[in-house]
Amino acid sequence: MYNLWKNVLEEIKTKVSAPTFSTYFADSELITANGGEVVINTKNIFVQKQFEKKYDGLIREALKKNKIEVKNITYVVSAGSTKVRQKAREITGENIEENARGVVKKISEVAKERFDNKENPSGLNSRYTMENFVVGSNNDLAVSVAKAVIENPGKRYNPFFLYGGPGLGKTHLVEAIGNELLRRNPKMKVLYTPIDHFYSSFVNSIQNKKGAEFSQRFRKLDLLIIDDIQFIVGKEKSQEEFFHIFNDLYQLNKQIIITSDRLPNQIRTVDERLASRLSSAGTFDIQMPNFEDRCAILKAKAEWEGANIEFEAIEYIAENVKTNIRDLESEYSRVLAVADLKGVTPLQLINAGYSSAIGGGKSKSVSAKQVVEKVAKYYDLSVKEMCGKSRVSNIKTARQVAMYILSKELQMSTTKIAPEVGVKDHTTVMNGLKRIDTDIKLNFKLRDQIEEIKEKIYGN
């Protein structure tokens, strides 16, 4: 049976991407295939549903190519131990936070053994490397540019402007560039600094009458990495100083790397000259990771830390945490901590129904009606107005935002969303979702609005 299923999987592997195969098929098993009745074990409820809805045809085709008669396929999930379930329910949640800190501390100790964390003039965190940065569909272009910068610093992509929402890995990637360049050339003068540190250092230098010394320190660099440039808002003198430092380094073909949560021309009060310089070599973004990317991130993190967590547990966390990588890794650490407290494995904890271990399960306690009401209230509309037939721009946007949140947070289908927002058919919903998906990448005001609405939905 094993060799038979192995051949089937080899066939499937040629039809899907490597991440898809790893996520859905790698751990599946063929239980039986007698008289056309096929039973396949998926070991995970989420994968079971995906097999039934999305991959059934592909699996049937692969089975038939391997001369397996197929009349009916049943996808099953291995049941967890009743004893383990009972054990997990019996233990209370007292001291969970204390134990969580203990597990995180243990993880940090493992990380320190692999990377040198000694302070250095560069300001770089040596834990951030290209090797432990997970490449996915959400960041592959940014990573390609990062590699080009490493190979030819100060050349084609200078400045390298990287933008994206918080917690998506911008800091990791830019510090990894610095660490790799220092590894190749230890004599290289590199400095990583968040913009608020730049600002405070600049103010101190002025107060201590050491402005020239401050400027000279930056102008000697081969690589300058500025993180979170958006926080330079309202600091005109700092902008002016940075503008001159930028120009001097640029003229000397020294590499400059900038990160932000938005594009230069969308940062309020930033000087037009500076905004133009920052985007002169193009702008590159890191987007929200999809399910497969999130699985890959957690799998790599577990391997790096030597953590004992089943892939099925990783899938469950990845399916339930869809905000950003920071939240994803936080929930991962929490699951490890709770499982450690209860003396069970992460998957046993999840199978036992301990849903509070996953913070991403918010959508289960929120109704479609509540979402619609919160969105309408946020845009100062009545539900009747928002769900009516008006094509006025602000009302249409509110309606589409409601569609977007219902889709992303409650995982509702377009056909179910339509009546909730007062539209006739699912194609209108599809168009609305497409518009928001497109706009949110560059319209940071809209992105902020959606985040504020989600906070209001889950905050009450």
> What is the per-residue pLDDT across 264-299, written as a single tens digit (0 to 9) for each?
887 876 778 888 889 888 899 998 888 888 999 999
> Can you tell me the mean pLDDT for 414-431?
91
Tens of pLDDT, residue by residue over 315-325, are 988 888 877 88
Cβ-in-10-Å burial (0-12, 13-18, 19+) of 90 comes to exposed
Spatial separation of the C-alpha atoms in residues 167 and 449, rounded to whole Å: 18
Residue 248 has pLDDT above 90, yes or no: yes
Domains of the chain: 2-76 (3.30.300.180), 140-285 (3.40.50.300), 366-459 (1.10.1750.10)
Residue 56's pLDDT is 86
Q: CB 347: neighbour CB atoms within 10 A?
A: 22
CA atoms within 13 A on the CB side of 172: 21
Which of 352, 364, 310, 363 minimizes the C-alpha distance to 332? 310
> Can you tell me the mean pLDDT for 178-193?
94
Tens of pLDDT, residue by residue over 348-361, are 888 876 554 454 44
How many residues in total does the chain contain? Answer: 460
Residue 447's pLDDT is 81
Q: How confident is the model at residue 102 (pLDDT cuts 50, 70, 90)?
A: very low
Q: How confident is the model at residue 82 (pLDDT cuts 50, 70, 90)?
A: very low
Which of 71, 138, 152 minimizes the C-alpha distance to 286? 138
Q: How confident is the model at residue 197 (pLDDT cuts 50, 70, 90)?
A: confident
Q: CB 418: neighbour CB atoms within 10 A?
A: 20
Q: How confident is the model at residue 45 (pLDDT cuts 50, 70, 90)?
A: low
Spatial separation of the C-alpha atoms in residues 439 and 94, rounded to whole Å: 44
Q: From edge to edge, which strands make up the β-sheet containing 283-285?
A: 190-194, 223-227, 255-260, 160-163, 283-285
Q: Which residues pair with 227 in a beta bridge?
A: 194
Residue 118's pLDDT is 45
Assessment of whether the complete model's pTM goes beyond 0.75: no
Position 6, amino acid:
K
Tokens of 354: 């301990």
Spatial separation of the C-alpha atoms in residues 22 and 4, rounded to whole Å: 19
Which of 60, 63, 58 minimizes the C-alpha distance to 7? 63
